Protein backbone atom coordinates (compact mmCIF):
# COMPACT_ATOMS: atom_id res chain seq x y z
CA UNK A 1 0.00 0.00 0.00
CA UNK A 2 1.36 3.36 -1.00
CA UNK A 3 0.89 6.31 1.30
CA UNK A 4 2.16 9.89 1.16
CA UNK A 5 2.69 10.11 4.89
CA UNK A 6 6.15 9.64 6.41
CA UNK A 7 7.13 7.76 9.49
CA UNK A 8 10.46 8.13 11.23
CA UNK A 9 12.31 5.50 13.14
CA UNK A 10 13.05 6.57 16.67
CA UNK A 11 16.80 6.42 16.45
CA UNK A 12 19.52 3.81 16.45
CA UNK A 13 21.84 3.10 19.35
CA UNK A 14 25.02 1.27 18.44
CA UNK A 15 28.28 0.54 20.25
CA UNK A 16 30.39 2.59 20.06
CA UNK A 17 27.56 5.08 19.84
CA UNK A 18 28.46 8.27 17.99
CA UNK A 19 25.32 9.93 19.31
CA UNK A 20 27.16 10.89 22.50
CA UNK A 21 29.74 12.76 20.42
CA UNK A 22 26.83 14.63 18.86
CA UNK A 23 25.56 15.40 22.37
CA UNK A 24 28.92 16.88 23.44
CA UNK A 25 29.21 18.98 20.27
CA UNK A 26 25.62 20.18 20.69
CA UNK A 27 26.37 21.06 24.31
CA UNK A 28 29.16 23.42 23.20
CA UNK A 29 26.99 24.96 20.50
CA UNK A 30 24.18 25.65 22.98
CA UNK A 31 26.48 27.08 25.66
CA UNK A 32 28.21 29.50 23.26
CA UNK A 33 25.07 30.55 21.40
CA UNK A 34 22.87 31.28 24.40
CA UNK A 35 25.66 32.51 26.66
CA UNK A 36 26.82 34.98 24.01
CA UNK A 37 23.33 36.23 23.20
CA UNK A 38 22.14 36.49 26.82
CA UNK A 39 25.21 38.43 27.91
CA UNK A 40 23.18 41.39 26.62
CA UNK A 41 21.87 41.95 30.15
CA UNK A 42 25.42 42.70 31.33
CA UNK A 43 25.93 45.23 28.52
CA UNK A 44 22.55 46.92 29.05
CA UNK A 45 23.62 49.54 31.61
CA UNK A 46 27.00 50.36 29.95
CA UNK A 47 25.22 50.95 26.64
CA UNK A 48 22.57 53.14 28.26
CA UNK A 49 25.19 55.22 30.05
CA UNK A 50 27.46 55.50 27.03
CA UNK A 51 24.80 56.70 24.59
CA UNK A 52 22.18 58.15 26.95
CA UNK A 53 19.50 55.79 25.65
CA UNK A 54 16.39 54.85 27.62
CA UNK A 55 15.97 51.34 28.99
CA UNK A 56 13.15 50.67 26.51
CA UNK A 57 15.25 51.79 23.54
CA UNK A 58 18.22 49.68 24.56
CA UNK A 59 16.30 46.54 25.49
CA UNK A 60 14.35 46.91 22.24
CA UNK A 61 17.39 45.44 20.46
CA UNK A 62 16.97 42.22 22.42
CA UNK A 63 13.24 42.27 21.74
CA UNK A 64 14.02 42.32 18.02
CA UNK A 65 16.48 39.46 18.56
CA UNK A 66 13.72 37.39 20.15
CA UNK A 67 11.33 38.17 17.30
CA UNK A 68 13.80 37.18 14.60
CA UNK A 69 14.99 34.18 16.64
CA UNK A 70 11.49 32.88 17.07
CA UNK A 71 10.05 33.76 13.65
CA UNK A 72 12.96 32.05 11.91
CA UNK A 73 12.76 29.01 14.18
CA UNK A 74 10.42 27.33 11.72
CA UNK A 75 12.88 28.01 8.88
CA UNK A 76 15.77 26.64 10.94
CA UNK A 77 13.70 23.59 11.78
CA UNK A 78 12.95 23.06 8.09
CA UNK A 79 16.66 23.55 7.35
CA UNK A 80 17.73 20.72 9.66
CA UNK A 81 14.94 18.52 8.26
CA UNK A 82 16.15 19.26 4.73
CA UNK A 83 19.93 19.84 4.91
CA UNK A 84 20.99 18.35 8.24
CA UNK A 85 22.60 19.98 11.30
CA UNK A 86 26.09 20.81 10.04
CA UNK A 87 25.07 23.32 7.39
CA UNK A 88 22.13 24.79 9.32
CA UNK A 89 23.90 25.27 12.65
CA UNK A 90 27.19 26.25 11.00
CA UNK A 91 25.52 29.28 9.45
CA UNK A 92 24.06 30.05 12.87
CA UNK A 93 27.52 30.18 14.44
CA UNK A 94 28.73 32.49 11.68
CA UNK A 95 25.80 34.88 12.21
CA UNK A 96 26.17 35.01 16.00
CA UNK A 97 29.93 35.60 15.90
CA UNK A 98 29.59 38.27 13.22
CA UNK A 99 26.72 39.94 15.06
CA UNK A 100 28.72 40.25 18.29
CA UNK A 101 31.76 41.58 16.41
CA UNK A 102 29.72 44.23 14.58
CA UNK A 103 27.95 45.28 17.79
CA UNK A 104 31.32 46.58 18.97
CA UNK A 105 31.11 49.27 16.26
CA UNK A 106 27.57 50.57 16.86
CA UNK A 107 26.82 54.24 17.55
CA UNK A 108 23.07 54.54 16.99
CA UNK A 109 20.04 52.45 18.06
CA UNK A 110 19.27 51.24 14.53
CA UNK A 111 22.76 49.79 14.26
CA UNK A 112 22.45 47.60 17.36
CA UNK A 113 18.97 46.63 16.20
CA UNK A 114 20.60 45.37 12.98
CA UNK A 115 23.55 43.58 14.57
CA UNK A 116 21.75 42.07 17.55
CA UNK A 117 18.26 41.72 16.17
CA UNK A 118 18.89 40.73 12.58
CA UNK A 119 22.17 38.82 12.85
CA UNK A 120 22.40 37.24 16.30
CA UNK A 121 18.65 36.48 16.38
CA UNK A 122 18.62 34.36 13.20
CA UNK A 123 21.84 32.68 14.31
CA UNK A 124 20.35 31.80 17.68
CA UNK A 125 17.35 30.18 15.98
CA UNK A 126 19.64 27.40 14.74
CA UNK A 127 20.66 26.50 18.31
CA UNK A 128 17.21 25.39 19.45
CA UNK A 129 14.95 23.25 17.25
CA UNK A 130 17.79 22.05 14.94
CA UNK A 131 19.86 20.89 17.92
CA UNK A 132 17.02 19.25 19.81
CA UNK A 133 15.59 17.65 16.69
CA UNK A 134 19.00 16.20 15.86
CA UNK A 135 19.38 14.76 19.36
CA UNK A 136 15.85 13.32 19.31
CA UNK A 137 16.65 11.44 16.11
CA UNK A 138 19.82 9.92 17.55
CA UNK A 139 18.29 8.56 20.76
CA UNK A 140 15.40 6.44 21.95
CA UNK A 141 15.97 5.04 25.45
CA UNK A 142 18.26 7.84 26.61
CA UNK A 143 16.54 10.67 24.76
CA UNK A 144 15.45 12.51 27.93
CA UNK A 145 18.95 12.44 29.37
CA UNK A 146 20.53 13.47 26.06
CA UNK A 147 18.12 16.40 25.68
CA UNK A 148 18.81 17.39 29.29
CA UNK A 149 22.56 17.43 28.71
CA UNK A 150 22.31 19.53 25.56
CA UNK A 151 19.89 22.02 27.05
CA UNK A 152 22.15 22.18 30.11
CA UNK A 153 24.65 23.78 27.74
CA UNK A 154 22.55 26.93 27.67
CA UNK A 155 22.77 27.06 31.45
CA UNK A 156 26.54 26.60 31.38
CA UNK A 157 26.78 29.43 28.86
CA UNK A 158 24.62 31.68 31.03
CA UNK A 159 26.74 30.75 34.05
CA UNK A 160 30.17 31.37 32.51
CA UNK A 161 29.77 34.12 29.95
CA UNK A 162 27.97 36.94 31.86
CA UNK A 163 30.63 37.28 34.61
CA UNK A 164 33.32 36.82 31.95
CA UNK A 165 31.75 39.64 29.93
CA UNK A 166 31.45 41.81 33.06
CA UNK A 167 35.17 41.31 33.73
CA UNK A 168 36.00 42.19 30.13
CA UNK A 169 33.90 45.36 30.29
CA UNK A 170 35.54 46.57 33.50
CA UNK A 171 38.99 45.83 32.04
CA UNK A 172 38.74 46.71 28.36
CA UNK A 173 35.45 48.57 27.90
CA UNK A 174 32.32 47.31 26.18
CA UNK A 175 33.53 47.67 22.57
CA UNK A 176 36.63 45.47 22.86
CA UNK A 177 34.62 43.09 25.03
CA UNK A 178 32.20 42.48 22.15
CA UNK A 179 35.13 41.81 19.80
CA UNK A 180 36.59 39.20 22.15
CA UNK A 181 33.19 37.65 22.82
CA UNK A 182 32.29 37.46 19.13
CA UNK A 183 35.58 35.80 18.25
CA UNK A 184 35.32 33.16 20.98
CA UNK A 185 31.63 32.37 20.53
CA UNK A 186 31.68 32.21 16.74
CA UNK A 187 34.84 30.09 16.57
CA UNK A 188 33.70 27.49 19.10
CA UNK A 189 30.28 27.14 17.49
CA UNK A 190 31.61 26.65 13.98
CA UNK A 191 34.25 24.14 15.10
CA UNK A 192 31.64 22.15 17.08
CA UNK A 193 29.39 21.79 14.01
CA UNK A 194 32.00 19.57 12.33
CA UNK A 195 31.20 16.92 14.96
CA UNK A 196 27.45 17.00 14.33
CA UNK A 197 27.08 13.80 12.36
CA UNK A 198 24.28 13.25 9.92
CA UNK A 199 21.02 11.82 11.16
CA UNK A 200 21.55 8.10 11.88
CA UNK A 201 18.63 7.09 9.70
CA UNK A 202 17.18 8.37 6.45
CA UNK A 203 13.48 9.12 6.70
CA UNK A 204 11.90 7.24 3.84
CA UNK A 205 8.48 7.33 2.28
CA UNK A 206 6.41 4.49 3.61
CA UNK A 207 5.53 2.25 0.70
CA UNK A 208 6.25 -1.08 2.34
CA UNK A 209 4.35 -0.64 5.56
CA UNK A 210 1.16 -2.44 6.33
CA UNK A 211 -1.38 0.18 7.31
CA UNK A 212 -4.55 -0.82 9.09
CA UNK A 213 -7.38 0.97 10.85
CA UNK A 214 -8.96 4.37 10.52
CA UNK A 215 -6.22 6.08 12.51
CA UNK A 216 -3.48 4.78 10.12
CA UNK A 217 -1.54 3.30 13.04
CA UNK A 218 1.66 1.64 11.88
CA UNK A 219 1.35 -2.08 12.37
CA UNK A 220 4.97 -2.71 11.59
CA UNK A 221 7.88 -0.67 10.30
CA UNK A 222 11.17 -2.50 10.53
CA UNK A 223 14.28 -0.60 9.52
CA UNK A 224 17.76 -1.23 10.90
CA UNK A 225 16.13 -3.68 13.33
CA UNK A 226 14.16 -0.93 15.06
CA UNK A 227 10.38 -0.91 15.09
CA UNK A 228 8.50 2.37 15.39
CA UNK A 229 4.97 2.59 16.68
CA UNK A 230 4.86 6.38 16.36
CA UNK A 231 2.20 8.19 14.40
CA UNK A 232 4.02 11.08 12.78
CA UNK A 233 2.22 14.29 11.90
CA UNK A 234 3.02 16.52 8.97
CA UNK A 235 3.20 20.22 9.79
CA UNK A 236 -0.12 20.81 8.06
CA UNK A 237 -1.75 18.09 10.12
CA UNK A 238 -0.25 19.42 13.34
CA UNK A 239 -1.61 22.95 12.94
CA UNK A 240 -5.12 21.54 12.68
CA UNK A 241 -4.94 20.16 16.20
CA UNK A 242 -5.93 21.89 19.41
CA UNK A 243 -2.81 20.55 21.11
CA UNK A 244 -0.50 22.41 18.74
CA UNK A 245 -2.10 25.77 19.55
CA UNK A 246 -2.11 25.01 23.28
CA UNK A 247 1.63 24.42 23.13
CA UNK A 248 2.08 27.64 21.16
CA UNK A 249 0.18 29.62 23.79
CA UNK A 250 2.22 28.04 26.57
CA UNK A 251 5.41 28.92 24.69
CA UNK A 252 4.21 32.54 24.51
CA UNK A 253 3.51 32.74 28.25
CA UNK A 254 6.80 31.08 29.24
CA UNK A 255 8.71 33.38 26.90
CA UNK A 256 6.97 36.40 28.40
CA UNK A 257 7.93 35.57 31.97
CA UNK A 258 11.39 34.14 31.41
CA UNK A 259 12.88 36.60 28.94
CA UNK A 260 11.79 39.58 31.01
CA UNK A 261 13.84 38.25 33.90
CA UNK A 262 16.85 37.20 31.83
CA UNK A 263 17.21 40.65 30.27
CA UNK A 264 16.30 42.86 33.24
CA UNK A 265 17.39 40.98 36.37
CA UNK A 266 20.92 42.44 36.21
CA UNK A 267 19.52 45.94 35.83
CA UNK A 268 17.06 45.23 38.66
CA UNK A 269 19.90 44.17 40.97
CA UNK A 270 21.89 47.30 40.10
CA UNK A 271 19.14 49.92 39.91
CA UNK A 272 16.65 48.75 42.55
CA UNK A 273 18.89 46.85 44.99
CA UNK A 274 22.05 48.95 44.42
CA UNK A 275 24.39 45.97 44.03
CA UNK A 276 27.76 46.30 42.32
CA UNK A 277 28.08 45.40 38.60
CA UNK A 278 29.85 42.10 39.31
CA UNK A 279 27.36 40.99 41.97
CA UNK A 280 24.48 41.91 39.67
CA UNK A 281 26.07 39.90 36.85
CA UNK A 282 26.46 36.88 39.11
CA UNK A 283 22.70 36.89 39.77
CA UNK A 284 22.21 36.10 36.09
CA UNK A 285 25.09 33.66 36.32
CA UNK A 286 23.42 31.95 39.30
CA UNK A 287 20.22 31.50 37.29
CA UNK A 288 22.25 29.92 34.52
CA UNK A 289 24.19 27.65 36.87
CA UNK A 290 21.13 26.20 38.58
CA UNK A 291 19.31 25.84 35.30
CA UNK A 292 21.89 23.15 34.51
CA UNK A 293 20.66 21.08 37.44
CA UNK A 294 17.06 21.76 36.44
CA UNK A 295 17.61 20.51 32.89
CA UNK A 296 19.35 17.34 34.01
CA UNK A 297 17.14 16.50 36.99
CA UNK A 298 13.79 17.43 35.46
CA UNK A 299 14.82 16.04 32.09
CA UNK A 300 15.43 12.69 33.78
CA UNK A 301 12.40 13.02 36.05
CA UNK A 302 10.09 13.51 33.07
CA UNK A 303 10.72 9.87 32.16
CA UNK A 304 9.08 8.82 35.44
CA UNK A 305 6.50 11.53 36.11
CA UNK A 306 5.81 12.62 32.53
CA UNK A 307 6.76 15.79 30.67
CA UNK A 308 3.48 17.54 31.53
CA UNK A 309 3.98 17.21 35.27
CA UNK A 310 7.64 18.20 34.97
CA UNK A 311 6.62 21.29 33.04
CA UNK A 312 3.95 22.22 35.61
CA UNK A 313 6.40 21.89 38.53
CA UNK A 314 9.06 23.93 36.73
CA UNK A 315 6.87 26.85 35.71
CA UNK A 316 5.26 27.01 39.15
CA UNK A 317 8.72 27.34 40.71
CA UNK A 318 9.60 30.11 38.29
CA UNK A 319 6.51 32.14 39.10
CA UNK A 320 6.95 31.70 42.85
CA UNK A 321 10.63 32.66 42.72
CA UNK A 322 9.95 35.85 40.77
CA UNK A 323 7.81 36.87 43.74
CA UNK A 324 10.73 35.99 46.00
CA UNK A 325 13.21 38.08 44.00
CA UNK A 326 10.83 41.03 44.04
CA UNK A 327 10.74 40.91 47.84
CA UNK A 328 14.50 40.44 48.30
CA UNK A 329 16.66 43.07 49.93
CA UNK A 330 19.59 40.90 50.99
CA UNK A 331 22.14 39.66 48.46
CA UNK A 332 22.10 36.07 49.71
CA UNK A 333 18.31 35.91 49.73
CA UNK A 334 18.29 37.14 46.15
CA UNK A 335 20.81 34.43 45.24
CA UNK A 336 18.60 31.81 46.88
CA UNK A 337 15.49 32.78 44.92
CA UNK A 338 17.52 33.20 41.72
CA UNK A 339 18.89 29.66 42.21
CA UNK A 340 15.44 28.08 42.49
CA UNK A 341 14.17 30.22 39.60
CA UNK A 342 17.09 28.94 37.53
CA UNK A 343 16.23 25.35 38.46
CA UNK A 344 12.66 25.89 37.27
CA UNK A 345 13.86 27.60 34.11
CA UNK A 346 16.17 24.70 33.33
CA UNK A 347 13.45 22.22 34.19
CA UNK A 348 10.93 23.55 31.69
CA UNK A 349 13.33 23.69 28.73
CA UNK A 350 13.54 19.98 27.79
CA UNK A 351 9.82 19.44 28.29
CA UNK A 352 8.67 21.34 25.18
CA UNK A 353 10.72 19.25 22.71
CA UNK A 354 9.80 16.11 24.65
CA UNK A 355 6.09 16.91 24.42
CA UNK A 356 6.39 17.89 20.76
CA UNK A 357 8.10 14.64 19.81
CA UNK A 358 5.71 12.60 21.93
CA UNK A 359 2.57 14.25 20.56
CA UNK A 360 3.52 14.73 16.89
CA UNK A 361 6.33 12.27 16.16
CA UNK A 362 9.77 12.92 14.70
CA UNK A 363 9.11 13.30 10.98
CA UNK A 364 8.50 17.06 11.04
CA UNK A 365 9.54 17.70 14.62
CA UNK A 366 12.05 20.39 13.60
CA UNK A 367 9.41 22.39 11.76
CA UNK A 368 6.71 21.94 14.41
CA UNK A 369 9.07 22.77 17.27
CA UNK A 370 10.32 25.79 15.33
CA UNK A 371 6.75 27.03 14.93
CA UNK A 372 6.33 26.99 18.70
CA UNK A 373 9.35 29.24 19.12
CA UNK A 374 7.58 31.94 17.12
CA UNK A 375 5.15 32.37 19.99
CA UNK A 376 7.92 32.03 22.57
CA UNK A 377 9.76 34.88 20.90
CA UNK A 378 6.65 37.01 20.60
CA UNK A 379 6.05 36.74 24.33
CA UNK A 380 9.68 37.42 25.18
CA UNK A 381 10.04 40.32 22.75
CA UNK A 382 6.97 42.06 24.12
CA UNK A 383 7.88 41.49 27.78
CA UNK A 384 11.49 42.71 27.50
CA UNK A 385 10.39 45.93 25.83
CA UNK A 386 7.41 46.34 28.17
CA UNK A 387 9.57 45.88 31.28
CA UNK A 388 12.00 48.51 30.01
CA UNK A 389 9.16 50.91 29.28
CA UNK A 390 7.57 50.36 32.71
CA UNK A 391 10.92 51.00 34.38
CA UNK A 392 11.39 54.24 32.39
CA UNK A 393 8.01 55.48 33.62
CA UNK A 394 7.94 54.21 37.20
CA UNK A 395 11.66 53.70 38.00
CA UNK A 396 10.61 50.27 39.31
CA UNK A 397 10.31 46.74 38.01
CA UNK A 398 7.51 45.71 40.39
CA UNK A 399 4.61 45.98 37.94
CA UNK A 400 6.54 44.34 35.12
CA UNK A 401 7.73 41.40 37.20
CA UNK A 402 4.20 40.89 38.55
CA UNK A 403 3.05 40.27 34.98
CA UNK A 404 5.84 37.72 34.68
CA UNK A 405 4.52 35.90 37.74
CA UNK A 406 1.04 35.78 36.22
CA UNK A 407 2.29 34.37 32.93
CA UNK A 408 4.19 31.57 34.66
CA UNK A 409 1.25 30.53 36.81
CA UNK A 410 -1.04 30.53 33.76
CA UNK A 411 1.41 28.19 32.03
CA UNK A 412 1.29 25.87 35.03
CA UNK A 413 -2.50 25.77 34.89
CA UNK A 414 -2.46 25.14 31.13
CA UNK A 415 -0.53 21.88 31.49
CA UNK A 416 -3.59 20.22 33.03
CA UNK A 417 -5.52 20.76 29.79
CA UNK A 418 -2.93 19.26 27.40
CA UNK A 419 -4.13 16.12 25.62
CA UNK A 420 -2.58 13.89 22.99
CA UNK A 421 -3.82 14.98 19.55
CA UNK A 422 -5.81 12.70 17.31
CA UNK A 423 -4.47 12.19 13.81
- pLDDT band for 180, please (50, 70, 90 cuts): very high
Q: What share of the chain in percent tops pLDDT 90?
A: 32
Considering the chain, what is the average pLDDT of its residues? 82
Residue 223 has pLDDT above 50, yes or no: no
- Whether 2 maps to a domain, the answer reads no
Q: How buried is residue 118: exposed, middle or buried, by Cβ count under 10 Å (0-12/13-18/19+)? A: middle
Q: Look at residue 103 in the predicted model and tell me its pLDDT.
A: 95
Least confident span in 158-162, 181-185, 201-205: 201-205
- Whether 8 maps to a domain, the answer reads no
Interatomic CA distance for residues 133 and 74, integer angstroms: 12
Q: What CATH number corresponds to the domain at position 261?
A: 1.20.1250.20
Mean pLDDT, residues 302-321 taken together: 90
Q: Is residue 405 within 8 Å of residue 387, measured between CB atoms?
A: no
Q: What is the pLDDT of residues 75-84, one digit of tens each?
A: 887 888 788 8
Residue 318 has pLDDT above 60, yes or no: yes
Q: Is residue 136 within 8 Å of residue 353, measured between CB atoms?
A: yes
Residue 7 has pLDDT above 70, yes or no: no
Cα 67 to Cα 37, 86, 383: the distances in Å are 14, 24, 12
Residue 205 has pLDDT above 70, yes or no: no
Least confident span in 41-45, 221-225, 228-232, 402-406: 221-225
Residue from 403, 406, 419, 377 nearest 315 by CA: 406
Q: DSSP string of 292-339?
A: HHHHHHHHHHHHHH-HHHHHHHHHHHHHHHHHHHHT--SHHHHHHHHH
Q: How buried is residue 250: exposed, middle or buried, by Cβ count under 10 Å (0-12/13-18/19+)? A: buried
- Whether 78 maps to a domain, the answer reads yes
- Whether 1 maps to a domain, the answer reads no
Chain mean position to CA 364 = 19
- Whether 11 maps to a domain, the answer reads no
Query: What is the domain range of residue 146?
Result: 19-206+210-417
Residue 277 has pLDDT above 70, yes or no: yes
Domain count, the chain: 1
- Whether 7 maps to a domain, the answer reads no
Q: Which helix (H) or strand (E) holds 218?
A: strand 217-220
- Whether 239 maps to a domain, the answer reads yes
Q: Is residue 158 within 8 Å of residue 266, measured between CB atoms?
A: no
Q: Look at residue 208 in the predicted model and tell me its pLDDT.
A: 35
Q: Is residue 7 within 8 Å of residue 363, measured between CB atoms?
A: yes
Residue 415 has pLDDT above 60, yes or no: yes
- Whether 112 maps to a domain, the answer reads yes
Interatomic CA distance for residues 369 and 349, integer angstroms: 12
Look up the pTM and report it: 0.69
Interatomic CA distance for residues 284 and 40, integer angstroms: 11
Amino acid sequence: MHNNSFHSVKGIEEKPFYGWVVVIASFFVASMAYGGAYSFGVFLKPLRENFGWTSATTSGAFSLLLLSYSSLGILSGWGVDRFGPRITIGFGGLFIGLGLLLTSQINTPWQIYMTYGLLIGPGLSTAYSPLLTTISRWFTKWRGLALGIVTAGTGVGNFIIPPFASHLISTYGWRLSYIILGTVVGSVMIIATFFLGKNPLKIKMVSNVEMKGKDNRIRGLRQNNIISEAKDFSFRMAIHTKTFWQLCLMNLMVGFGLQMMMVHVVSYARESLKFSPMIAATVLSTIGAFSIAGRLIMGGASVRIGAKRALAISTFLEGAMIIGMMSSSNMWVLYLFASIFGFGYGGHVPQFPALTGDFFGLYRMGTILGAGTIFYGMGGAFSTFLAGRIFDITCSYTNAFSLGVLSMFLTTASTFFLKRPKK
